[in-house]
Structure 1
Amino acid sequence: MQEIKSENQRIWFNPELLPEQPDACFDPVFWQQAGRVIGSAEGRGTTWFVQGEKLDMALRHYRRGGLFGKLVADSYCFLGWQKTRCAEEIALLDKLVRGGVRVPRPVAARAIRKGLCYQADILVEKIAEAKDLVGILQKEELPTATWLAVGAMVRKMHDLQVCHTDLNSHNILLDSQQQVWLIDFDKCYEQAGEAWKEKNLARLHRSFIKEQGKRGIHFSEQCWQALLDGYERFSC
């Protein structure tokens, strides 16, 4: 990653993935005026999907959730540039990519300091022709091989000592080649030890159970056991 520094701003970017002007690419208007917005998604604000020269990307502005987010929408306490949420997320994604985990490649990030606070944005690779497991499982069952692959990918992440704090069925994607991807690493972190990994898996299990009751997804304990088998079989 290259870094552009100023007194109140930091931009980190991969020039191999982002030939566009880094300081302009965090503004949705830049992409709109170029006619290169290819979609959007609503969550905590709008995630814009844009067509870069090298690859399609997702542009996201960091926003708070919950009740506090209604009071302070997108400002965070500044504790240093490397401790901004965008800097931590691109560093974690870079570690995972280098470790062989299928996650969106980090393209660029920006933090703007305003007094004791900062605001931030991030650009990451958009996974082509990918759908989350919930959307797929609402329509069809998945073969055992896919559940094994999901478990193996989670294990690969855990072997790199990365804790996904929001590991759920919406944050696991399948692309058109049935390859497994993990997404949404905001607020995730590296963690030593082993005990937390079982709790992380339990969180994922609860999310499948929740979606089974809420949306009637095709999920059973046999599916979960296949996922665990994939997790146990894989080892770096």
Structure 2
Amino acid sequence: MLKTLTQQAQTILYDESQLQDDPQHVFNIDYWREKSAIIGSATGRGTTWFLQASNQQLALRHYYRGGLFGKLIKQYYLFTGLENTRPFKEFRLLKHLTEAGVNVPTPVAAKVTRFLGCYQGDLLTARVPNAADMIDILNTDRVTQTHWEMIGREIQKMHRAQVCHTDLNIKNILLDDKENVWIIDFDKCQTRKGEAWKAANLARLKRSLDKQQRKGAISYQASDWQALLAGYDQSQ
């Protein structure tokens, strides 16, 4: 059950069935530090913290801008309503995908803090357990044609839910130790009507594979892409 908690300039949207800790504390990294519950981190635009809650592992991420504008205004966004904020939109999109049976991180809580017409945002999700992104995996013997077909099927499930992943690249696809494919990082992604955009979304992924291959970062062949497309087409 989704609940909303508002105190002064701060609003938290959370899933009561997923969150057993106090929603007012879970976005404060010192809260987890005092519990000795920080189990790891990853660095991108900012730091994603991996946390051990009482019922599951979590990932905590603060929203930062990218690009040139992000160097000037790193973590503030124009506030035009709660449902237009990046944390709330990503939370609800992940909820939609989870309900559609797509392997994505389960949304746990989202926080928006307002400042003079602007806001900062944070997102708390369930951590995908024992998983690595495909760039790390592709240079091992672990990836088979079956795995490529599985990736295609998972993307098709996402597309069937009418979600366009605007940053669909190989680093945002994970494989866990139980051979499950996961898709992550849905910031700024959206639902779209129709079918025309889906081929372009797949083409974006292929460009990311070709780019990594040119850099020598991955072991990848044309037959791998054909296996992915076969998995995608089988699911339609």
Query: Quick check: 2:135–2:217 contact (8 Å CA) kept in 1?
Result: no
Q: Equivalent residue for 1:82?
A: 83
Q: Percent identity?
A: 46
- Moved beyond 6 Å, runs of 4+: none
Query: Quick check: 2:94–2:186 contact (8 Å CA) kept in 1?
Result: yes
**Cα RMSD for the two superposed structures:** 1.0
Give the CA deviation at 1:104.
0.5
Query: Quick check: 1:89–1:188 contact (8 Å CA) kept in 2?
Result: yes
Q: Equivalent residue for 1:170?
A: 171
In the aligned structure 1, how far is the partner of 2:8 from the partner of 2:34? 29
State how 1:1-236 maps to structure 2 within 5 Å.
1-140=2-141, 142-235=143-236
Give TM-score scaled by structure 2 length: 0.97
Give the CA deviation at 1:217.
1.2
Once the two structures are superposed, residues 140-167 of structure 1 have per-residue CA deviations (whole angstroms, 9 ceiling, x without a partner) of: 3621111111000000100111000000
Query: Quick check: 2:164–2:189 contact (8 Å CA) kept in 1?
Result: yes
In the aligned structure 2, how far is the partner of 1:69 from the partner of 1:88? 20
Moved more, 72-81 or 1-10: 1-10
Query: Quick check: 2:62–2:122 contact (8 Å CA) kept in 1?
Result: yes
**Runs of 5+ unmatched residues, structure 2:** none
Give the CA deviation at 1:7.
4.1
Once the two structures are superposed, residues 161-218 of structure 1 have per-residue CA deviations (whole angstroms, 9 ceiling, x without a partner) of: 1000000000000000111000000000001111111110000000011111113412
Once the two structures are superposed, residues 15-73 of structure 1 have per-residue CA deviations (whole angstroms, 9 ceiling, x without a partner) of: 22111110111011110111000001111111100001111010000000111111101
Give TM-score scaled by structure 1 length: 0.97
Alignment size in residue pairs: 235
